[in-house]
Amino acid sequence: MRTQSVTVNSNTAQSVPSLLSIENLGLIFQSADRRVHALRSMSLSIAHSEILALVGESGSGKSVTGLSLLRLHGKNAALSGKIFYNGKNLLELSEEEMRVYRGRELAMIFQEPMTALNPVFSVGFQMKEVLMLHAGLTAKNAETRATELMSQVGIPEAALRLKAYPFQLSGGMRQRVLIAIALAAKPKILIADEPTTALDVTIQAQILRLLREVNERESMAMLFITHDLGIVAKLAHRVAVMYAGEIVETGSVAEIFSAPRHPYTQALLASKQTAPRGEKLFAIPGTPPLMNELPQGCAFAQRCAYAEARCHETIPKQNDGAHVWRCIRR
pLDDT of residue 46: 96
- Are 257 and 3 in contact by the 8 Å Cβ rule? The answer is yes
Chain-wide mean pLDDT for the chain?
Answer: 89
pLDDT band at 273 (very low <50, low <70, confident <90, very high): low
The model's pLDDT over 78-111, given as tens digits with 9 standing for 90+, comes to: 999 999 998 899 999 999 999 999 988 999 999 8
Mean pLDDT of 300-305: 93
Q: Residue 10: which pLDDT band, with cuts at 50, 70 and 90?
A: low
- Least confident segment among 6-15, 18-27, 43-52: 6-15
Instruction: Residue 244: name the closest of 110, 80, 58 by CA.
Output: 58
Output the furthest CA–CA distance in the chain (Å, rounded).
66
Q: Which distant-in-sequence residues (6+ apart) come within 8 Å of 152 by Cβ?
A: 180, 183, 210
Say yes or no to pLDDT of 12 above 80: no
149: helix, strand or coil: helix
Q: Which of 190-194, 207-211, 315-319 has the lowest average pLDDT?
A: 207-211
Domain segments of the chain: what residues? Answer: 47-70+100-239
Fold of 47-70+100-239: Rossmann fold (3.40.50)
3-state secondary structure of 302: helix
Q: What is the pLDDT of residue 9?
A: 59
Grouping H, G, I as helix, E, B as strand and the rest as coil, residue 274 is: coil
pLDDT band (50, 70, 90) for residue 13: very low
Lowest mean pLDDT among 116-125, 169-178, 276-285: 276-285
